A and B are shown apart, each in its own frame.
Chain A
């Protein structure tokens, strides 16, 4: 399977991507997808734009490794991750994770697993534009906890050095 990890500035069409993921195969009984969008507000302030930076090369490699891990854990027939970078506005789509499986449980679980993994281990960074100026988004401990449910430790949001919390 080629092209199942795509990092791009352009938007994507969810229907087109799901149709392509299923293709002509008849063993797919379930497809689950997640779409992340830019929120126009946080509890504290309005967000007028989001700039997304990534680490070219590592990003694709890290997500490919996540897909391999998802295939090892769940009955995945096909999967796709699209993540946008560059300048995005409130309401814009950021990320698509789509999984095709024989049954819904594998599709749902693999999709959620991939998102939890991506949030804590894929090298993307968000910078918000607010009325107070620009600021880098802080990592959330809750995202590490979400990955821990799958038996994987993550210290992404831990304070201090890179080996903290591992």
Chain B
């Protein structure tokens, strides 16, 4: 499936702004599965997206649970907890 992957804040600094990604999920495509797959890409990914790290996800620009399913063409963003205001 094709996804628009985005990173923000500390994740963007560690991993870049993101990219158009072709991903073949091994099972049900969810944000959690994508995060786990991304961890295998490099040491930097493994660290930034480690299971214990506070990482939030938005699917198509709406905050989502990691368990939420992904559809082909979705925009998936990973970022740290928000700190605006």
Q: List residues of A whose CB falls within 8 A of some B CB.
A: 36, 52-55, 57-58, 61-62, 83, 94-95, 115, 118-127, 136-139, 156-164, 166
Q: Do B8 and A57 touch across chains, with their CB atoms under 8 A apart?
A: no
Q: Do B55 and A124 touch across chains, with their CB atoms under 8 A apart?
A: no
Enumerate chain A residues within 8 angstroms of B81, measured Cβ to Cβ.
138-139, 156-158
A61 to B62, alpha carbons, bound, how many Å?
8
The reply to whether the CB of B29 lies closer than 8 angstroms to some CB of chain A is: no
Other-chain contact of B82, A95, A122, A158, A160 (Cβ < 8 Å): A122
The majority secondary structure among interface residues of chain B is loop
Enumerate chain A residues within 8 angstroms of B63, measured Cβ to Cβ.
62, 121
Q: Name B36-83 residues within 8 Å CB distance of A.
A: 51-58, 61-67, 77, 79-83
Q: Do B85 and A161 touch across chains, with their CB atoms under 8 A apart?
A: no
Q: Do B8 and A125 touch across chains, with their CB atoms under 8 A apart?
A: yes
Q: Do B6 and A125 touch across chains, with their CB atoms under 8 A apart?
A: no
CB distance from A63 to the nearest CB of B (A): 10
Other-chain contact of A125, B9, B54, B57 (Cβ < 8 Å): B9
Q: Do A159 and B54 touch across chains, with their CB atoms under 8 A apart?
A: yes
Q: List residues of B whose CB falls within 8 A of some A CB.
A: 6, 8-10, 12, 31-32, 35, 51-58, 61-67, 77, 79-85
A161 to B33, alpha carbons, bound, how many Å?
12
11 more A-B residue pairs beyond the given contacts A123-B77, A125-B84, A157-B81, with a C-beta to C-beta distance below 8 A = A54-B8, A54-B84, A57-B61, A62-B63, A95-B85, A118-B84, A118-B85, A123-B79, A125-B8, A139-B54, A158-B54
In the complex formed, the residue of A with least CB distance to B49 is A161
Q: Do A55 and B10 touch across chains, with their CB atoms under 8 A apart?
A: no
Enumerate chain B residues within 8 angstroms of A57, measured Cβ to Cβ.
61
Contact sample, A vs B, 25 pairs, CB 8 Å cutoff: A55-B58, A55-B61, A55-B79, A58-B58, A61-B61, A83-B84, A95-B85, A119-B84, A121-B82, A122-B84, A123-B8, A123-B84, A124-B83, A124-B85, A125-B84, A127-B9, A136-B9, A138-B83, A139-B54, A161-B32, A161-B35, A161-B51, A162-B55, A163-B66, A164-B54
